[in-house]
């Protein structure tokens, strides 16, 4: 479903990174593990379509990401790849539901308020639908970024260090939320982390 082959990346004033081939099947749930500096964020960005590798391929459901034009890649990413960033990427001047509508229109999809209301309900944010991001707590913002990642029913849900700034209880609940939501949306889940607390929860590991 998602696979990488022969990937390398070279930073101009930095190291050349090589990544072993990897194949993730539909609906599998994986951890990407590695010490600080081992290349997790680099690999996540390449697999998310955000960073063109020096060589190699990333294939998602038969589409070679870096064979697409920039415009096609933007569309594909918006439509099929849900990314939960370490810090939520939200538009502060738009309300919660409007942020999700924006994610739909950026992927070239029609506004689907039913989908938005369903997700906000599942993530305990129904009452915040007309609020602005600045009016939300950290935990609520994190749930909103999960909603944003899932709103277009992506094939893949990718999270980069989703628990690094959280206490034990919140870390547990974010992992549970990602797992449940990936399963409910039939998405493949990939979590990059160096957080040992996450390790017990998923049994597929790719180690850098």
Ligand X SMILES: Nc1ncnc2c1ncn2[C@@H]1O[C@H](COP(=O)(O)OP(=O)(O)OP(=O)(O)O)[C@@H](O)[C@H]1O
19 binds ligand X (CB under 6 A): no
Q: How far is the CB of 10 from ligand X (least distance, A)?
A: 9
Encoded tokens for 191: 């979590």
Determine which residue in the list 6, 8, 10, 15 makes contact with ligand X, applying CB under 6 A. 15
- The residue range among 8-16, 54-62, 108-116, 132-140 that interacts with ligand X, by the rule CB under 6 A, is 8-16
Q: Which is nearer to ligand X, 33 or 123 (CB)?
A: 33
Q: Residue 17 has what DSSP assignment?
A: E
H helix or E strand, kind and range, residue 131: none
| 178 strand-pairing partners | none
Q: How far is the CB of 61 from ligand X (least distance, A)?
A: 25
Applying CB under 6 A, the site for ligand X has a residue count of 13
Region 136-195 residues binding ligand X, contact defined as CB under 6 A: 194
DSSP H helical segments within 48-92, as ranges?
70-80
Sketch the per residue contact string, 34 through 63, with ligand X: x for CB under 6 A, - otherwise. x-xxxxxxx---------------------
Exposure string over 13-33, b if 16+ CB within 10 A, otherwise e: eeeebebeebebeeebbbbbb
Q: How far is the CB of 205 from ligand X (least distance, A)?
A: 15
Between CA 98 and CA 94 the distance in angstroms is: 6
Between CA 42 and CA 31 the distance in angstroms is: 15
Residues that bind ligand X (CB under 6 A): 11, 13-15, 34, 36-42, 194
């Amino acid at each position: 479903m998602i696979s990488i082959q022969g990937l390398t990346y070279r930073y101009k004033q930095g190291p050349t990174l090589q990544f072993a081939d990897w194949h993730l099947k539909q609906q599998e749930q994986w951890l990407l593990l590695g010490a600080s500096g081992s290349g997790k964020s680099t690999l996540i960005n390449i697999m998310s379509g955000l960073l063109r590798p020096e060589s190699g391929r990333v294939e998602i459901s038969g589409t070679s990401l870096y064979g697409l034009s920039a415009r096609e890649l933007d569309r594909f990413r918006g439509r099929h790849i849900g990314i939960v960033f370490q810090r939520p990427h939200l538009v502060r001047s738009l309300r919660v539901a409007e942020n999700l509508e924006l994610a739909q229109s950026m992927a070239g999809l029609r506004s689907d308020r039913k989908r938005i209301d369903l997700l906000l309900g599942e993530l305990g944010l129904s009452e915040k639908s007309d609020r602005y991001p600045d009016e939300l707590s950290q935990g609520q913002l994190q749930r909103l970024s999960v909603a944003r990642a899932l709103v277009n029913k992506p094939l893949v849900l990718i999270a980069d260090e989703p628990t690094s700034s959280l206490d034990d209880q919140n870390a547990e609940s974010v992992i549970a939320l990602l797992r449940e939501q990936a399963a409910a949306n039939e998405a493949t889940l990939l979590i990059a982390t160096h957080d040992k607390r996450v390790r017990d929860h998923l049994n597929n590991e790719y180690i850098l």
